[in-house]
Amino acid sequence: MGNVTIGENPGQADYLDGGACPCLIVDDDPAIRDLVARSLPRFGYRVLTAGSGAEALETLRREEVPLVLTDVQMPGMDGVALLEAIVAEWPETAVVVATAMSEVDVAVTCLRKGAHDFLTKPFQLSDLTARLSQALDKRRLILENRRYQNHLEDMVREQGARLEELFLESVQSLAHALDARDSYTQGHSARVRAYAGAIARAIGLDSGTIQEVELGAELHDIGKIGITDDVLLKPAPLNEPEYRHLMDHTRIGARILHPLLKNLPLALAIVRSHHERLDGSGFPDGLGGDAIPLGVRIVSVADSFDAMTTARPYRGPRSAAEAVAELRRCSGAQFDSEVVAAFISSYPPGTEFPIATPRRVRISLPPPVAGVSRPGA
């Protein structure tokens, strides 16, 4: 490689358009520094020099340098210590160490510590340019490989999220199919989603939490797939054992959705706890007060309002005014009074209830919020 010229070294390609490739020469011997500084520019390098490790670090802090050639034996900070500092601070910088013939073990140590190559002193100019060229090439391959890995990780993450969305879309279809099993609950999940979303917006929750509340609201009754038809479709009020069996849909739903919603704890809590009551007398865990997340309290109001304003096999629908009066009457014991107020403020007087069943919305997962507990959670 004695005839290395600009453009023959792929590692330097990044610098061809913008000028020569910066190369920092670190040696306490000024004669060697000068010799190298005079020789390298015609091979496409812009040479920077430093007489010590400390001086080299100053230069690296000042400007981006892709390539460093350092002597090992130097007073003060030696080449090995400088190499360690560069690997820690500027891992994308390629380092070539120059050692005496008798220091082969030092050269091996340097390679283990992250040096790209080594050069034994005294060296010929052709050796020097070949080593620098190879070090730059190695650096380029490492960077390309790292970029490729990052890209692959992004792709895997994106595909994983899309897979989760596809699963959730299947579950969403199931929820709507369950609603449609009898004419009385047709459109229930979609309306509860709309009511809950309106309340969450009125309260001022952030968009990620609103999405999670809406998702939980839409899927809240998915566990009814595990409830027998004679209970689910009974044309009369349920007796105690039947009611307990019906309330099992909360546990069943949470069990079904746990693998899918483990990163969306609020949505999962909505499925499990939407029949809890503030006074602790609800199902399935008897949670009370603040132990019931705000997002769950929102869906509880939305769910109850829709149930009251739609017909059941054993009773007709209540009017909106009657349902609102019932929400108010049960505020504090069953429902959160602020949530009830937010619901009432969400719809102008004269709104017809139940609202028209909204069109199905394609599920998109809210982005995970690492280490942050959302206010509704």
Least Å distance between CB 325 and Fe ion? 22
340 closest CA partner among 353, 327, 351: 327
Query: Using CB under 5 A, which of the segments 46-54, 107-115, 160-168, 218-226 binds Fe ion?
Result: 218-226
Residues 71-90 touching Fe ion, rule: CB under 5 A, are none
Least Å distance between CB 310 and Fe ion? 13
Least Å distance between CB 192 and Fe ion? 9
Here the tokens at position 120 are 């034994």
Residue number with CB closer to Fe ion (189 or 209): 189
Query: Using CB under 5 A, which of the segments 190-198, 200-208, 220-228, 348-356 binds Fe ion?
Result: 220-228
Residue number with CB closer to Fe ion (218 or 221): 221
234 closest CA partner among 224, 226, 223, 242: 242
Answer whether 186's CB lies under 8 Å from 233's CB: no
| Interface with Fe ion, residue 218, by CB under 5 A | no
Query: Who contacts 317 (Cβ-Cβ below 8 Å, separation ≥6)?
Result: 308, 309, 310, 311, 354
| Interface with Fe ion, residue 212, by CB under 5 A | no
Residue number with CB closer to Fe ion (25 or 271): 271
Here the tokens at position 27 are 């040696």
Least Å distance between CB 274 and Fe ion? 6
Query: Using CB under 5 A, which of the segments 21-29, 91-99, 204-212, 219-227 binds Fe ion?
Result: 219-227
Compute the distance between CA of residue 136 and CA of residue 162 in angstroms, rounded to an integer.
39
Residue number with CB closer to Fe ion (221 or 276): 221
Strand intervals (E) in the chain: 21-26, 45-50, 67-71, 94-100, 117-121
Q: Which residue is nearest to Fe ion (CB)?
A: 221
| Interface with Fe ion, residue 221, by CB under 5 A | yes
Q: Is beta strand 21-26 parallel, antiparallel or unpaired with respect to 94-100?
A: unpaired
Least Å distance between CB 92 and Fe ion? 55
Residue number with CB closer to Fe ion (103 or 221): 221
Query: Using CB under 5 A, which of the segments 108-116, 157-165, 213-221, 336-344 binds Fe ion?
Result: 213-221
Residue number with CB closer to Fe ion (17 or 240): 240
355 closest CA partner among 326, 323, 328, 314: 323
Q: Which DSSP letter does residue 199 get? A: H
Residue 5 CA to its chain's centroid (Å): 46
End-to-end CA distance of the chain: 64
Residue number with CB closer to Fe ion (212 or 221): 221
Compute the distance between CA of residue 209 and CA of residue 367 in angstroms, rounded to an integer.
10
Least Å distance between CB 224 and Fe ion? 7
- Contacts with Fe ion by CB under 5 A lie at 221
